[in-house]
Structure 1
Amino acid sequence: MTRKTADKPHILFLFSDTGGGHRSASRAIIEALEIYHPGKVTTEMLDFFVEYAPPPFDLAVTTYAPMAQVPDLWELGYKLSNGKWRSKLVQDILWPYIRKSTERLVQEHPCDLFLSVHPIINTPILRALGDDHPPYMTVITDMVSTHVFWYNNKATLIMTPTEVAKLRGISIGIDPDRMEIVGQPIADKFRRPTGSKTELREKLGWPQDKTVVLIVGGGDGMGPVEETVRAVDEAGMDLVLAVIAGRNEALKNSLENADLETQTFIYGFVDNMPDLMNAADILLSKAGPGTISEAFIAGLPIILYSKMPGQENGNVDYVLNENAGVWAPTAEKVLETLRHWTENPDILKEMAATSKRLAMPDASYDIAQRIIDAVYPD
């Protein structure tokens, strides 16, 4: 048992910056705890790869982006390890090598509840803890194509973003009573629009009378963003583009120096994504679960043009099957979709309504409530 003796229950968030979604999910849940349960708990975020993983796993964060540029290799590794017995074999082989560092993590970070937002750490931590341990909760941040590593029957509660993710757990033997569908944890500001579409466009300096396409490549500006922008521009469509380059300064500089005929607003890393989404008409994005969930809350039709093979394949299927958007992996398909939607506003309106219906804006609040219920059982 590794409980922390203190006036307030202490929550340890286990995450890693292998992709932007794990950190943002942790922050969203912590924010919900602070807003809706102020002063009830203390929290700590721990990047276990950086702080505790032995070589070469301690390089996972720095090698993630380069690996993401080799999608076939990434998908191969994902598929090879993603099976009930294959994943157990991988865990059993690695355990003797990572055991000491995992046990040290547990000893050096006493807490009253573990909250994991990463698939890889769950089984190692639960092994290190033994049978007598504080509540251990997992919040799955992959929308549909969930890796087996997410699931462990020793977890107190596994919270899933979709019914498909819960059914995946049941299919590999997870007790249904240990799982609950809550949605994707999203920052509280997405629940609270700061104005109407007209007001937001005025604040952003966007025209009121044109269709605005918001192009997002994720926090690192990954995906063929520039190629897509140039293709839309060359097509001469009567649209306005708003491009989020994220932390990708090279992309931002290249677009700012491009000779574009289409009215284009170019942003780096932003903290007003809810305003941008609520002011836009269409989202063009890679298939990240966080961005898709945010788009649902804003009621945006979605064009998905890029995905991380493996865990994001199911996200594409989910959006398509629910009729909230399309898969357009080429510039030609993007242009075809934009033409079809702008020429058929009823279709665009229907997809916007579908997207809104799929939204689960209270996910972070619900997760925070489960945490409070666990550490204050009476």
Structure 2
Amino acid sequence: MHPLLNQVAHQAIQKSGRPRALMTVITDLVDFHRGWTFSKADLVVAPTELARKVALRRRVPADRVKLLGLPVDLRFRPPAPGEQRALRRRYGLDETRFTVLVMGGAAGVGNLVKQVRVLGWEPHQWQVVAVCGRNEKLRRRLARVRFATPTLILGFVDFMPELMRASDVIVTKAGPGAIAEALATGVPVLITGFLPGQESPNVDFVVEAGFGAFTPKEEDLLDEVRVLAEGGPTWQEMSRKAAELAHPYASSDIARECLLLAARYRASAHTRR
């Protein structure tokens, strides 16, 4: 929903004469339109602690703001013991190699070709999974390349949660959805680009929170993956930070809050009768 519709929804509830709950779920991680922080909402759901603080600064009452995370598909979750290796076997990957998942979104946009080339052209100790989305031309182009590093080229997939659980690091742009999905899975993130405006603060969020890095140039990406693939303290610390910040069950938690609000309004209506 567009943030400006919060006011419209509130007015519609007022005119109906039938009390209804109004809940706002902020879908940007850090920086967002003021319309999301609608002070007359019964509940404002913040995806991050930074977003919660922004809501408070914008005078949303503290008892109406809850940090629940950004809602993502519940399939995005940390791998169970032994699951990561099992998933790698399923997709024909080496069970023991450090695995880099490079994503171009559903449309397969961005500098995916350059990113995959720099990670796979020469032999390295890791393996690469590249998801080209619906960009079939891009998929065919990459599939024709003989990479020295094991590289799996995929088109559009409906098993992204499984691919994330099979991976050790995610390479993506700074979209809030992809970042939230990686966090829910507990996987570090390497940000390669962002849309000016609301996505730019997401880069700072990832870097300052310690669960990822900003790698806008191909050489930056290669250097960072090389460090992480060693499996040393850098990767371990990023993974730990990702797990700490994760809200894998945000969708369920938000749904529960919806039901609680609805129950409260129903109880209030019965009391007035």
* Aligned twin of 1:5: none
Aligned-partner Cα distance in 1 for 2:168–2:155: 20
Q: How many residues align?
A: 262
Q: CA deviation at 1:372?
A: 1.0
* Aligned twin of 1:111: none
* Aligned twin of 1:351: 238
* Aligned twin of 1:121: 5
Deviation track 1:28-65 (CA, whole Å, cap 9, x = no partner) reads xxxxxxxxxxxxxxxxxxxxxxxxxxxxxxxxxxxxxx
* Aligned twin of 2:42: 156
Q: CA deviation at 1:129?
A: 4.3
Aligned-partner Cα distance in 2 for 1:230–1:134: 54
Aligned-partner Cα distance in 1 for 2:77–2:148: 35
* Aligned twin of 1:196: 83
1:369 lines up with 2:253 in the alignment:
no
**Long gaps (5+) in structure 2:** 268-273
Aligned-partner Cα distance in 1 for 2:77–2:169: 19
* Aligned twin of 1:135: 21
Distance 1:250 1:121, change over 3 A: farther
* Aligned twin of 1:19: none
Contact 1:144 1:162 in 2 (8 A): yes
- Matched residue SS, 1:205: coil
Aligned-partner Cα distance in 2 for 1:305–1:148: 27
Aligned-partner Cα distance in 2 for 1:222–1:120: 29
Aligned-partner Cα distance in 1 for 2:177–2:126: 26
Deviation track 1:349-369 (CA, whole Å, cap 9, x = no partner) reads 221121111111121111111
- Matched residue SS, 1:123: helix
- Matched residue SS, 1:169: helix
Q: CA deviation at 1:138?
A: 1.1
Aligned-partner Cα distance in 2 for 1:263–1:316: 29
Q: CA deviation at 1:144?
A: 0.8
> Under a length normalisation based on structure 2, what TM-score does the superposition of the two structures give?
0.88
> Which among 175, 182, 187 is matched to residue 73 of structure 2?
187
Q: CA deviation at 1:128?
A: 4.5
- Matched residue SS, 2:213: strand
> Under a length normalisation based on structure 1, what TM-score does the superposition of the two structures give?
0.65
Q: CA deviation at 1:258?
A: 2.9
Q: How does 1:1-378 map to 2 (within 5 A)?
A: 15=1, 118-130=2-14, 132=17, 133-191=19-77, 193=79, 196-343=83-230, 345-377=232-264, 378=267
Contact 1:161 1:181 in 2 (8 A): yes
- Matched residue SS, 2:225: helix
- Give the partner amino acid of 1:283: I
CA RMSD of aligned residues (A): 2.1
Distance 1:304 1:233, change over 3 A: same
Aligned-partner Cα distance in 2 for 1:351–1:225: 23
Contact 1:146 1:311 in 2 (8 A): yes
Deviation track 1:123-177 (CA, whole Å, cap 9, x = no partner) reads 3333454464521111111111122121212222111101211211222222222
Contact 1:255 1:266 in 2 (8 A): yes
Identical-pair percentage: 35
Contact 2:189 2:213 in 1 (8 A): yes
Contact 2:126 2:149 in 1 (8 A): yes
Aligned-partner Cα distance in 1 for 2:12–2:187: 44
Aligned-partner Cα distance in 2 for 1:119–1:256: 42
- Matched residue SS, 2:59: coil
